[in-house]
Amino acid sequence: MTASERGLNTRILASYELLNYCKYLFDSDGFYRKSPKSQLLVEVLTFGDFAEVFFKKIMEFYALPGVKRIDLIFDRYDDISIKFLETKLRIQNQIIKNIIISNDSTKIPTDCKAFPTNAHNKLQLVRFLCANAPKYAQVKEDCEMYICGGFDDTTKCFKLQGSSICEVLELQSNHLEADSRMFAHIFHAVRIQSAHIIIISADTDVFVLAV
């Protein structure tokens, strides 16, 4: 009934698995899922290796039926923001080394678990991934990848398609969190392509906003 009132296609909804728990937030044992940020860095030697593995995993979604667009939205880590202050308070009693990712050959730090707890390190990684997206994300001509959050101007969004990259003015945003910024992308995709949207996130904020 709710689906019909919202104008949703009930056949499409019925094609998804029905469970008594949300598998994106909880595992089959009922435990809350946490983003394994540090685990992403364990099996690679350099940040170039990481970027290659990262974008390879992202590109796999294009193999799914009907997927022609992927939006990759990163959190912003501005020095003057609530998010920055929150992170600073969280690690104020910890000694965490700042890492400079100068190029693809920069080695992954030994202490992978500590790396993503530092806002400076997160910013370095996000900027590195955004700057190198055209190199590692080989997007086909009939597909699109929208990416934002890690460019010199963090409000800007760019579209990768084939060998081209262009700014998307409609998706320029001052939102700090990807949690909320992604909804501008969702509305854009629906308006431009009348698309069915799949949100992949283990974040409860995203879950609440999407309901």
Cβ 172 vs Cβ 157: under 8 Å? yes
* Structure-token match 């979604």, residue found: 61
User: Looking at residue 103, what is its pLDDT?
Assistant: 93
User: Looking at residue 181, what is its pLDDT?
Assistant: 94
State the average pLDDT over residues 8-23. Answer: 63
State the average pLDDT over residues 166-185. Answer: 93
Cβ 149 vs Cβ 125: under 8 Å? no
User: Looking at residue 79, what is its pLDDT?
Assistant: 65
The rounded percent of the chain whose pLDDT value lies above 70 is 70
- Tens-place pLDDT, residues 48-90: 999 999 999 999 999 988 899 999 999 887 766 666 666 666 6
How far is the C-alpha of 62 from the C-alpha of 70, rounded, in Å? 8
| DSSP code at position 38 | G
Task: List the Cα angle 203/201/116 in 5-degree steps.
Answer: 70
User: Looking at residue 16, what is its pLDDT?
Assistant: 62
* Number of other CB atoms surrounding residue 149 within 10 Å: 25
pTM of the predicted model, to two decimals?
0.74
Tell me which residue of 53, 31, 27, 25 sits closest to 40, measured CA to CA: 53
Q: CB-hemisphere CA count at 13 Å for 18?
A: 4
pLDDT bin (cut points 50, 70, 90) of residue 38 is very low
Tell me which residue of 112, 108, 154, 162 sits closest to 130, measured CA to CA: 154
* Structure-token match 């890690």, residue found: 150
